[in-house]
Chains A and B, each alone.
Chain A
Amino acid sequence: DAGITQSPRYKITETGRQVTLMCHQTWSHSYMFWYRQDLGHGLRLIYYSAAADITDKGEVPDGYVVSRSKTENFPLTLESATRSQTSVYFCAGSSSDQGEQYFGPGTRLTVT
């Protein structure tokens, strides 16, 4: 059981396009998180969700939109992709806001 799955694993898109990264969990975690990871930086929180229909901004939310209509899905949308959004994106789940987080395999996004 993979727990947290992400799709696509790799994506190349052009500046200005809208792109959605999918995250699906099978473990019924209450909390879900979206991070980006860039060289020289720690993981930076984009958005998180405490439950279905409850989302909140993290450290770097600008240019991103999330939704969580179902507990198991937490898609991340880049409304108009920019080169600065080239990164590796990780989705994670947890039973609490301060508990151990379980990460998906990541999506490597390149914006040209």
Chain B
Amino acid sequence: GQNIDQPTEMTATEGAIVQINCTYQTSGFNGLFWYQQHAGEAPTFLSYNVLDGLEEKGRFSSFLSRSKGYSYLLLKELQMKDSASYLCACVDSNYQLIWGAGTKLIIKP
């Protein structure tokens, strides 16, 4: 079956760095997305990886290892507004998105 695993909840301190992991098992693989979702709002796009390696975009970076079925989202210089859920999603062989349940990130002052 297809499966995306992420931690349910994480806590970090304002100004610190946090890494949110995502492991996946899908029928085929055509890329991995990270989305951010604030409570009561819609998901918004953060990053897309299809090749191995690190993609950096400001304070956020996303890493992919296709051989290990693993990705992480790295958030630096955490701000209170980063408190949100972070959703990992893989594109399978049918070009459909398979979504993880999301990681709720709590930022403490």
- Residue numbers of A with Cβ under 8 A of B are 40-45, 48, 58, 90, 97-98, 100-106
Query: B4 and A103: CB pair below 8 A?
Result: no
Q: List 16 A-B contacts (CB under 8 A).
A: A41-B101, A42-B87, A42-B99, A43-B87, A43-B89, A45-B96, A48-B96, A90-B42, A97-B95, A98-B31, A98-B95, A98-B97, A100-B33, A100-B48, A101-B43, A101-B45
In the complex, B21 has a CB within 8 A of chain A: no
Contact with A along B88-103 (1 / 0, CB 8 A): 0101000111111110
Q: How far is the CB of A38 from chain B (nearest CB, A)?
A: 10
Q: Closest approach, in angstroms, between the C-beta of B57 and any C-beta of chain A?
A: 13
Please tell me the number of chain B residues within 8 Å of chain A, measured between CB atoms: 21
Q: Which of A90, A98, A102 has the most CB of B within 10 A?
A: A98
> In angstroms, how far is the closest chain A Cβ from the Cβ of B73?
15
With contacts A43-B87, A98-B91 known, is A104 near B42, CB below 8 A?
yes
Instruction: Take A40-B101, A106-B42 as given contacts and tell me if A97 and B48 are in contact as well, using a CB distance cutoff of 8 Å.
Output: no
A residues near B45, Cβ cutoff 8 Å: 100-102
Whether B44 is near chain A, meaning CB under 8 Å from some CB there, is yes
Residues of B within 8 A of A40 (CB): 101
* Chain A residues positioned under 8 Å from B95 (CB to CB): 97-98
Which residues 63-81 in B have Cβ within 8 Å of A in the complex? Answer: none
State the CA gap A42–B22 with chains docked (Å): 13
**CA of A97 to CA of B91 in the docked complex: distance in angstroms?**
9
Q: Which of B17-47 contact A (CB under 8 A)?
A: 30-31, 33, 41-45
In the bound assembly, the distance between CA atoms of A97 and B48 in angstroms comes to: 14
Q: Whole-angstrom distance from the CB of A75 to the nearest CB of chain B?
A: 18
Query: Are B96 and A43 in touch, CB under 8 angstroms?
Result: no
